[in-house]
């Protein structure tokens, strides 16, 4: 089939920024609890940091290398970069406007104040001065800029201050400029005692304190200006895994350089003089388009902790306790439960604890002879990893496939790999050139009649904290064909040999892409024959051109296609003659939508798959991914009723994609308000 024309696709980078707009809308929404609005504002900043570190950095590298070939959407790197900067500047301006004009006054009205330097009374000023001399000044290192003190190396995303000075120091020097770097150990927000603040929760920014007292660092000189700044750097790691003999050692050597990659963005306070801004841009080899002047702290991410510090439940989402499936009791033997039938877990509405229990019981069960698991993201403190270490120490055969190149989790994964090896586990790093992104765990247990396999397959990571923040599905099964497939995938990852045909699972980079294309085409054939045909797919991103081409053809054949895509979607829905029958929506709410679900009507014999893979080039061709069918009819019905239908009905947190790539919040038009995530909380979780 022919690939889509450039005008039939949406640019990836611009699609990512459209998603950030939808996240920011959660901070704008007055129906969102106030402290959660602040948290969403911080999430946007965190997302934008990563966007610049990776996506913008990639565009700048292409421009630097002279690459002018357009991406599938028809934009060259230079054109994409220009549009990205335009949208990013608009987004950041809107973000700070919301922060200053809406959120700060609303928080202040509820006794949560961020007290500006110009607002300090005498008592507050005295307390802050004492705090500066006691806690800050001893760890600050001012660096005067002169031939003996060149501009310092500035860490990625660190807080710094550019200081304009007048006068001469003790040595008669007068460079006129200095830099003060704020150590990362220092808090960016300091809480004042209630009797000093004059309100229940009073905070001051570290930047305000340093601005007020920076003159103490330059005795006898006059401070003409003090401006906070922050530089964002290219954070991709440059490791040639085909040439490297020991990937772990190579990564350990490369990680420190991430802090000093090429600069891609400069953030400064809006009061920064043009002279100083131009000076800083020159130091970092950046253009004016890379400069973001903001009214407020240059790092809003550091405000993420404030909602946790403030004990005001009425200003936060109501707490909940995830439920357990009825078949699983607190003292349940997980192997007995799974042997009786498949178990489906829907996180965060249902607890992640059964997954932890599965591995922990395997570690302590004398009948278990082997455990195998993939690790992509698991956190720095993981019960699962500690259980695997105990299992290895007790003499069980433990094999862990650790993905060292999981972006921004490399250090944690390196540390776990070392600890697992020390405990006697077999640790492998997957396949050269392919990230291991599949979420699989396999337990082999000696039972009456021989060895039996038990497996967990998921759409999300083995990470207990994110299991309370992300929506995901997990399947626990003893199905012989599925567990045999899981075993074969582990054999591929740890050994050598040709890929055998799997019986139930689809796998990247081998069968997932062609089978998804074939399933779409089967629906198109059914539609052309006058049969009912439908596709519903839920994922984080849709970018792969051949899948998009197949969806366009299916739409033209009459297939009804509903796509629930959280983030970037390159497909254009609702284009006459091309995608009339395709609707794309994005749901952004309290939890990060993370599950991947693929539904095909299949002439009434409904096929439902769960997967670790989005419909992107990297997931189909450059990663090890798993996609598994839900075979139990009751569980299949559950996935449809919980993972798909509510999101198609949602009229509170759903956004509908327009043919031009923009999104409009779905209106209710008199319908009763309906929120998918709230419904699922009411169905499963205990308030």
User: Hey, which residues are catalytic here?
Assistant: 437
Per the listing, tokens 């419909």 go with: 615
Q: Would the CA dihedral through 83, 87, 90, 93 be positive or negative?
A: negative
Q: Residue 641 and residue 633: Cα distance in Å, rounded? A: 12
DSSP state letter for 494: H
Which of 181, 126, 157, 138 is CA-nearest to residue 50? Answer: 157
Q: Would the CA dihedral through 380, 383, 386, 391 be positive or negative?
A: negative
Q: Residue 115 and residue 197: Cα distance in Å, rounded? A: 8
Per the listing, tokens 């849709």 go with: 542
Which of 597, 684, 591, 593 is CA-nearest to residue 636? Answer: 597
CB 403 within 8 A of CB 436: yes
Which helix (H) or strand (E) segment is 125 a member of? helix 122-131
Q: Residue 365 and residue 334: Cα distance in Å, rounded? A: 11
CA atoms within 13 A on the CB side of 388: 31
Q: Residue 302 and residue 185: Cα distance in Å, rounded? A: 12
Which of 428, 566, 563 is CA-nearest to residue 492? Answer: 428
Rounded to a whole number of angstroms, the CA Rg of the chain reads: 27
Q: Residue 418 and residue 436: Cα distance in Å, rounded? A: 18
Which two three-digit tokens encode residue 664?
């409009």
Helix axes 545-557, 512-528, angle to 10 degrees: 10
Look at strands 343-347 and 470-477 and give their pairing.
Answer: antiparallel
Region of 300 on the Ramachandran plot (φ > 0 left; ψ -120 to 50 alpha; else beta): alpha
Cβ neighbours around 149 below 10 Å, total: 14
CB 597 within 8 A of CB 627: no
Cβ density class 439-458: b for 16+ within 10 Å, e for less: bbbbbbbeeeeeebbbbbbb
CB 592 within 8 A of CB 540: no
Which of 156, 174, 146 is CA-nearest to residue 54? Answer: 156
Which two three-digit tokens encode residue 69?
């070939």
Which of 425, 424, 414 is CA-nearest to residue 378? Answer: 414
φ/ψ (deg, to 5) at 365:
-75, 120
Per the listing, tokens 């299916």 go with: 554
DSSP-assigned beta bridge partners for residue 609 = 598, 629
Cβ neighbours around 420 below 10 Å, total: 21
């Amino acid at each position: 089939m022919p690939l889509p024309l450039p005008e039939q696709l949406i640019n990836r980078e611009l699609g990512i920024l459209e998603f950030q707009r939808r996240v920011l809308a959660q901070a704008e929404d007055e129906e969102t609890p106030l402290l959660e609005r602040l948290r969403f504002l911080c999430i946007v900043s965190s997302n934008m940091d990563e966007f610049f570190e990776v996506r913008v950095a990639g565009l700048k590298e292409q421009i630097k290398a002279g690459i002018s070939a357009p991406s599938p959407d028809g934009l060259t790197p230079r054109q994409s970069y220009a549009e990205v900067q335009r949208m990013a500047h608009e987004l950041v301006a809107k973000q700070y406007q919301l922060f200053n004009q809406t959120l700060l006054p609303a928080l202040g009205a509820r006794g949560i104040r961020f007290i500006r330097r110009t607002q300090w009374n005498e008592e507050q000023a005295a307390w802050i001065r004492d705090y500066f001399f006691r806690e800050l000044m001893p760890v600050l290192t001012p660096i005067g800029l002169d031939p003996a003190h060149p501009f310092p190396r500035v860490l990625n995303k660190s807080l710094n201050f550019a200081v304009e000075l007048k006068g001469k120091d003790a040595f008669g020097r007068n460079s006129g400029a200095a830099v003060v770097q704020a150590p990362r150990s220092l808090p960016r927000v300091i809480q004042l005692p209630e009797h000093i603040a004059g309100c229940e929760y009073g905070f001051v920014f570290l930047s305000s304190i340093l601005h007020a007292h920076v003159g103490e660092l330059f005795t006898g000189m006059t401070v003409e200006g003090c401006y906070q700044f922050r530089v964002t750097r290219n954070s991709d790691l440059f490791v040639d895994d085909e040439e490297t003999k020991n990937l772990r050692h190579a990564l350990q050597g490369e990680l420190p350089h991430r802090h000093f990659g090429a600069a891609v963005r400069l953030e400064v306070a809006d009061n920064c003089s043009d002279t100083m801004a131009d000076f800083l841009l020159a130091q970092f080899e950046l253009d004016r388009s890379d400069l973001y002047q903001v009214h407020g702290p240059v790092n809003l991410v550091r405000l993420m902790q404030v909602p946790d510090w403030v004990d005001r439940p009425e200003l936060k989402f109501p707490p909940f306790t995830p439920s357990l499936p009825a078949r699983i009791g607190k003292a349940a033997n997980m192997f007995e439960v799974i042997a009786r039938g498949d178990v489906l877990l829907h996180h965060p509405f249902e607890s992640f604890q059964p997954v932890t229990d599965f591995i922990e019981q395997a570690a302590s069960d004398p009948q278990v002879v082997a455990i195998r698991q993939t690790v992509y993201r698991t956190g720095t403190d993981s019960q699962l990893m500690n259980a695997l270490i105990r299992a290895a120490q007790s003499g069980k055969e433990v094999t862990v496939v650790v993905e060292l190149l999981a972006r921004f989790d490399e250090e944690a994964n390196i540390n776990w790999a070392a600890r697992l090896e020390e405990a006697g586990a077999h640790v492998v790093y997957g396949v050269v050139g392919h990230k291991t992104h599949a979420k699989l765990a396999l337990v082999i247990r000696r039972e009456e009649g021989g060895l039996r396999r038990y497996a967990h397959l998921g759409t999300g990571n083995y990470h207990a904290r994110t299991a309370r923040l992300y929506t995901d599905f997990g399947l626990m099964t003893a199905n012989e064909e599925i567990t045999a497939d899981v075993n074969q995938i582990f054999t591929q990852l740890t050994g050598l040999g040709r890929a055998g045909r799997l019986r139930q699972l689809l796998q990247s980079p081998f069968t997932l892409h062609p089978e998804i294309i074939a399933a779409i085409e089967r629906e198109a054939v059914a539609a052309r024959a006058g049969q009912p045909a439908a596709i519903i797919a839920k994922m984080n991103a849709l970018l792969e051109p051949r899948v998009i081409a197949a969806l366009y053809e299916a739409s033209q054949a009459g297939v009804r296609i509903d796509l629930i895509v959280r983030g970037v979607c390159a497909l254009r829905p609702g284009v006459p003659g091309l995608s009339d029958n395709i609707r794309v929506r994005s749901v952004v709410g309290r939890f990060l939508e993370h599950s991947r679900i693929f539904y095909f009507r299949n002439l009434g014999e409904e096929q439902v798959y769960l997967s670790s893979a989005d419909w992107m080039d990297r997931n189909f061709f450059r990663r090890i991914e798993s996609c598994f069918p839900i075979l139990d009819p009751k569980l299949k019905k559950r996935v449809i009723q919980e993972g798909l239908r509510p999101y198609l009905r949602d009229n509170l947190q759903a956004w509908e994609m327009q043919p031009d790539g923009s999104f409009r919040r779905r209106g209710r038009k008199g319908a009763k308000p309906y929120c998918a995530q709230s419904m699922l909380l009411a169905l499963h979780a205990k308030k």
